Amino acid sequence: MAPKQALPQPLPQAGGGIRFAGYASVFDRVDRGGDVVRSGAFAATLKEERAVPLLWQHRPGASIGVIETLAEDARGLRVVARVTHPAAAKLVERGALTGLSFGYRVRAARGAGPRELLALDLAEVSLVAAPMQPLARIVAVSPSFVIPAKARISPLEDGERVRSRPSPG
């Protein structure tokens, strides 16, 4: 059995990696665990304006980039981030890795089957192979695209993907 390899060190933030936009959470849709995140669930965390790490498969300490923007919109928790880890950036750029997920602690919930998550303490956002919420996906990828902080990413259905490329010089 081959020894377990550690993730290589990320590329420097300036100019390296690949940017993406997507949804780490989609509101009002039951996930594979029987939970449904409601609009406003992230409001308190977002108001704190603290840094939220971008991780590989929820692994503590396995930072693979930096989150540039986190915001709630009508669809869910929108994220714009730059992946600086070389292998992860290549997977995202090729469309081989599109899943997004998030780690959290419950502040307020109600019911069961499905459990409604009303207020969450957001701990991290992760790139994952199989997201708990199947609609939590990357929706745009580019080395240099620009999405204004207040812009709304168009709601895409599961399986749709927008790939933007910089125009030739």
Buried/exposed code over 71-107 (b: 16+ C-beta within 10 A; e: otherwise):
bbeebbbbbbbbbbbbebbebbbeeebbbbbbbbeee
Residue 153 belongs to some domain of the structure:
no
d(CA 92, CA 87): 9
Asked whether residue 115 carries a pLDDT value surpassing 90, the answer given is yes
Q: What tens digit of pLDDT does each residue of 137-164 get? A: 999 998 655 444 444 444 433 333 333 3
Sequence-distant (6+) residues with CB within 8 A of 88 are 56, 64, 65, 97, 127
Q: How far apart are CA 25 and CA 161, in angstroms?
A: 16
Decide if 148 is inside a domain: no
pTM over 0.85: no
* Residues paired with 21 in a beta bridge: 80, 140
Task: Count up the domains in the chain and report the number.
Answer: 1
The pLDDT of residue 12 is: 40
Reduced to 3 states (helix: H, G, I; strand: E, B; else coil), residue 74 is: coil
- Asked whether residue 152 is domain-assigned, the answer is no
The whole domain housing 104 covers 19-135
Percent of the chain with pLDDT over 70: 75
Question: What's the CATH code of the domain at 106?
Answer: 3.20.16.10
